Amino acid sequence: MKKLTFLTIFALLALSVLAACGGSSTTTSAPTSVTMGAVQFNSTSVTITKGSTINFTTDQGGTAHNLVNGTNGKNRIESGAPDFGTGGQTVGPGKTWTSPPWNTAGTFHVTCTYHPTTMTMTVIVTG
């Protein structure tokens, strides 16, 4: 009985040490904010760290935007970019949509299918 109690306590201590020392960890950051006007993003490029999200907000008096991965209004999910869903994500006036996490380092693009010539943004994800 004493041996079993000792082994149980030892196992619990070992697990506590392993949990405190690391393994894999997930870093989360505050979302980066991007505002969308009538036909443009407030920035043509954003740099975020791996695991971050982006809040896309349409101006209160603006028009709706439909966001997809890719350029020129085409939904072409670039390898490593988060999936915005079939057909993209529509963000109405005064509304905010938060992207899934960007978990792969690299350079990606977001575009609006409604305003493809003026709304293409580059997303740079650092490791």
pLDDT digits (tens, 9 = 90+) for 70-120: 988 888 889 999 999 989 999 999 999 999 999 999 999 999 999 999 999
Residue 85 lies in a domain: yes
CATH of the domain at 117: 2.60.40.420
Residue 16 lies in a domain: no
Q: Which residues contact 45 (CB under 8 A, 6 or more apart)?
A: 121, 122, 123, 124
- Residue given tokens 């966001």 in the structure block: 67
Q: How many domains does the chain have?
A: 1
pLDDT for position 4: 43
Collapsing DSSP to helix, strand or coil, 96 comes out as strand
Residue 36 lies in a domain: yes
Q: Provide the whole-model pTM.
A: 0.75
Task: Domain of residue 68: give its range.
Answer: 32-126
Residue 21 lies in a domain: no
